[in-house]
Structure 1
Amino acid sequence: MTAARAALLGALVCLAVVCQAVVFRYVAVDGVVPNLALILVVAAAIARGPKFAMLLGFGAGLLLDLAPPADHVAGRWALALVVVGYLAGRVQRDARSSTVTAVLVVGAASFVGTSVYALTGVLLDDAALPMDEMLQVIVISVLWDLLLAPLLIPLLLWLMDLARPLRTA
């Protein structure tokens, strides 16, 4: 991967994390914002496969873990986005076939990623919410991500195709 392509992907991750932490906090529903980093990882999984998405998910997750207000044990989002990258990459061919399928993959990935994050909080006894509040956060998060996915997935897939290395014959 060239430096320009790596810089584009790094900028996309940073932009997603900054927008998620700063911009969308003003439109949060019960304190829950859309997970733009998760949508980016799903787009990477659809465009480039599970290995690439797992690496991007780890980096984006670490940025999310360290971005203010970091009030949890570092590594929880990194783990969640690695799992999301792997699972979304496993259905790469099906998700690439249509935008509707890609949006459904985002919904499933949002459920899995947010659930992994919540369950690791319970296991680590890290500011665990009561179960009913945890379920409410998961539902709101999935709805946010499903709302933004039809707008972001085509754009992100196009950007991922720009960042794809050219194949030589």
Structure 2
Amino acid sequence: MVIKRTVLAAVLLLVALVVQVSVLGRLQLPGATPDLLLLVVVGLALVFGPMGGSLTGFFGGLLADLAPPSDHAIGRYALVLCLMGYAAGLLRAEPGRQRSVLGPLLVVAGSAVVSTVLYALVGALVGDTAARHVGLPGLVFSALLYDVLLAPFAVPAVMLLARRFGGVGLDGEVTGPGLGTIARYRTTRHASSVGPSIRKKLGVKS
């Protein structure tokens, strides 16, 4: 099951990167570019948890760092998305609890703002002054606007696909329909070692 989730994450990241570079990057929108890669990382992190979110963010960011026409230091975006994936994973709803519709949208909004600021700060540390020419407030506002508008179309679809691959998550948590089978197996196995009267109470046939 972990292999299936890993393959799913890889496919989604590759698709998001292609769309990001070939479509969204050519729209020439004012300010920032809609960050579909960030939305995929957030969506997967809300299902996989902090461990899976950080790993997904790191490898997704590394792909963006290496993919042309990348013009920044390798590892810069990987660091940002790794932190965003971990933070979003911490906000995952507990099993059995229903997350509100606004929950993922608020996570996306916070991730858009924080990731833009972090990216600019890391760039300043390595000598990239591009954010100064555009203006950091303008970048933050445009990133927030574009990502929030795109989130309702991307994040729910990513989360739905991720949940279809149930079982053991990347952070080690057991989820999915297999829990019922395991519980019934344990009940039957335990009941076989007790007396007939107790088995009758448990509803287990001899």
Same fold (TM over 0.5): yes
**What per-residue deviation string (whole Å, max 9, x for no partner) do you get for residues 106-152 of structure 1?**
01011111111111001111244317612211211111100011111
The runs of 5 or more residues in structure 2 that have no matched partner are: 168-175, 183-206
1:80 aligns with 2:76: no
What is the aligned partner in structure 2 of residue 71 from structure 1? 71
Q: Counterparts in 2 of 1:80-159, with a 5 A limit?
A: 80-93=80-93, 97-130=99-132, 133-159=135-161
Q: Which amino acid aligns with 1:155?
A: A
| Greater radius of gyration (CA) | 2
Contact 2:5/2:162 (8 A) holds in 1? no
The runs of 5 or more residues in structure 1 that have no matched partner are: none
Q: Which amino acid aligns with 2:112?
A: S
Greater fraction helix: 1
Distance change in 2, residues 1:138/1:9 (3 Å): same
Query: Within 1, Cα distance between the matches of 2:31 and 2:17?
Result: 16
1:55 aligns with 2:55: yes
**What per-residue deviation string (whole Å, max 9, x for no partner) do you get for residues 8-61 of structure 1?**
221100000110111112323126321111111111111110100000000000
SS in 2 for 1:93: coil
What is the aligned partner in structure 1 of residue 192 from structure 2? none
Give me the TM-score of the superposition, normalised by structure 2: 0.75
Q: For residue 2 of structure 1, report the CA deviation from its aligned partner.
A: 5.1
Give me the TM-score of the superposition, normalised by structure 1: 0.90
What is the aligned partner in structure 2 of residue 20 from structure 1? 20
Contact 1:29/1:140 (8 A) holds in 2? no
SS in 2 for 1:92: coil
What number of residue pairs does the alignment pair up? 169
